[in-house]
Amino acid sequence: MLTDAECRNAVCPPDKKQARFADSGGMYLQVSPAGSKRWFLKYRIAGVEKQMALGSYPDVGLTAARKARDAAKLQKSQGADPLQARKLAKLKGTRTGGDTFKSVALEWYGKQSPQWSESHAERSLRQLERDLFPWIGERGMTEIHGMELLAALQKIEERGAIETADRVLMLARQVWDYWLPTADVEQRNITEGLKGRLMPYRGKSFAAILDPVRMGDLMRAIKGYKGGPIVRTALQLTPYLYQRPGNLRMMEWVELDLDGAIWTIPSMKMKRTKLEKEQGEAHTVPLPTQAVALLRGIQPLTGGGRYVFRGERSHDRPVSDNSVRSALYALGFGKEQSWHGFRASARTMLVDELDLDFNVIEANLAHAVKDANGRSYNRTQYVKQRFTMIQQWADYLDKLAAGGDVLQLKLA
């Protein structure tokens, strides 16, 4: 075994590349001709010899080197490779915030959010910051019990936000899935089974009229709406085009080709992921003659600006998302028919009443059309067929408003 004096006086002959001075337990001091001295531990794993550096002398003295040797040998006796254990510890040290829920969640968010739409990214971060960080943000991932997370989720329920509680649980589940592969010890995803402890949430269906007779009543009410011309035109266009409310209210004159009867919605405005928005194609919407007439009618009023349906207070902004909704309530149909529900109304009656092609209908709704195996590989836009379909639909709505071509259902 070496002594402190032997370590201080150890030198390497000039004719050698290095000199080794053995201590015990596989540890030795390696000295270079230039005078540098380093501690090493030699050991075997599965018959393969390995060397592990224990530090430089005199920064790491003889006693400290022996302690490092003993710690490494203890790891080896427990079935671990000391070198691999050191590399793993170094990798874990790169996580500046440690393994608190907040640090792991923000790391996960930073990697996922670039692929999301801006609105989804903002909402997810807001929910993390408001609903989870105050309660478990500074807690270590291994320390958090399922009951703690459940308590945080139940606070959301207490304010009546049942859907939000469901969404926040989904966020927490993804954070745990992200962290688990790097956990120090065997862990489980503590979000498992918590959904059953929350108030049931199965999503909401938008109110939609599916009965042709009642749709005729609504169309007559819409035609008689006495509100301002901008909201009135938006309300009248809604059932004819059945596009998403956000797209309709933010319709711009530059997107319209009234001579060609086409409305082209840029990809960035569509309900898609960020990558799909950036790389996807625009959504073309054929315009029936009724829609073209309505748009030409409002053009003298708003055609000099950006938006077709400009706001009342600011002409540089579109009407609010509450505009058509309020009009429907004013007509007495607000509980039966939501603005978004016109998509469901059209989707149902185009099939049940007009017996039109499902794929063409889905393409006009901007839904991905499934192939025979259920995957969304069919990218055909069916533009020509949609021109015919959209005109059939608009004419059908007008007939319903006039009280024609409606068969009363016979009650069994």
Is 156 a domain residue? yes
Based on the fold, state whether residues 173 and 317 are members of the same structural domain: no
Is 87 a domain residue? yes
Is 190 a domain residue? yes
Peptide bond before 58: cis, by omega within 30 degrees of 0? yes
Q: Tell me, what's the pLDDT at 275?
A: 61
Is 21 a domain residue? yes
Band of residue 204 on the pLDDT scale cut at 50, 70, 90: low
The DSSP H or E segment spanning 397 is helix 383-402
Based on the fold, state whether residues 88 and 114 are members of the same structural domain: no
CATH number at residue 279: 1.10.443.10
Which range is most confident: 90-99, 176-185, 216-225?
216-225
Band of residue 412 on the pLDDT scale cut at 50, 70, 90: very low
Q: Is the pLDDT of residue 229 over 80?
A: yes
pTM: 0.56
Residue range(s) defining the domain that contains residue 107: 101-197
Give SS3 for 19. Answer: strand
Q: How many domains does the chain have?
A: 3
Any long-range contacts for 85-88 (C-beta under 8 Å, 24+ apart)? 86/52
Based on the fold, state whether residues 273 and 311 are members of the same structural domain: yes
Largest CA distance in the chain: 110
Q: Is the pLDDT of residue 205 over 90?
A: no
The pLDDT tens digits for 127-151 are 999 999 999 999 999 899 999 999 9
Q: Tell me, what's the pLDDT at 408?
A: 45
**Complete DSSP assignment for 156-225:** HHHTT-HHHHHHHHHHHHHHHHHHGGG-SS----TTTTGGGGSPP----PPP----HHHHHHHHHHHHT-
Based on the fold, state whether residues 327 and 222 are members of the same structural domain: yes
Is 335 a domain residue? yes
The pLDDT tens digits for 60-80 are 999 999 999 999 999 888 888
Is 216 a domain residue? yes
Based on the fold, state whether residues 269 and 359 are members of the same structural domain: yes
**Complete DSSP assignment for 335-372:** TT--TTHHHHHHHHHHHHTT---HHHHHHHTTPPBP-T
User: Averaged over 246-262, what is the pLDDT?
Assistant: 94
User: Averaged over 88-101, what is the pLDDT?
Assistant: 66
Please say which residue of 93, 118, 137 terminates a domain: 93
Is 407 a domain residue? no
Sheet holding 262-265, edge to edge: 256-257, 262-265, 283-286
Please say which residue of 27, 59, 93 terminates a domain: 93
Based on the fold, state whether residues 295 and 322 are members of the same structural domain: yes
Higher pLDDT, 279 or 44: 44
Based on the fold, state whether residues 87 and 233 are members of the same structural domain: no
Neighbouring-strand partners of residue 40: 28, 53
Instruction: Give the integer Cα–Cα distance in Å for 355 and 130.
Output: 48
Q: Tell me, what's the pLDDT at 291?
A: 96
Please say which residue of 72, 93, 114 terminates a domain: 93
Based on the fold, state whether residues 379 and 297 are members of the same structural domain: yes
Higher pLDDT, 403 or 242: 242
Neighbouring-strand partners of residue 43: 50
Based on the fold, state whether residues 36 and 179 are members of the same structural domain: no
Based on the fold, state whether residues 376 and 255 are members of the same structural domain: yes
Q: Is the pLDDT of residue 117 over 80?
A: no
Based on the fold, state whether residues 187 and 43 are members of the same structural domain: no
Is 202 a domain residue? no
CATH number at residue 145: 1.10.150.130
Based on the fold, state whether residues 56 and 159 are members of the same structural domain: no
| Contact call for residues 206 and 344 (beta carbons, < 8 A) | yes
Q: Tell me, what's the pLDDT at 299?
A: 95
Instruction: Give the integer Cα–Cα distance in Å for 309 and 299.
Output: 10
CATH number at residue 30: 3.30.160.390
User: Averaged over 82-96, what is the pLDDT?
Assistant: 69
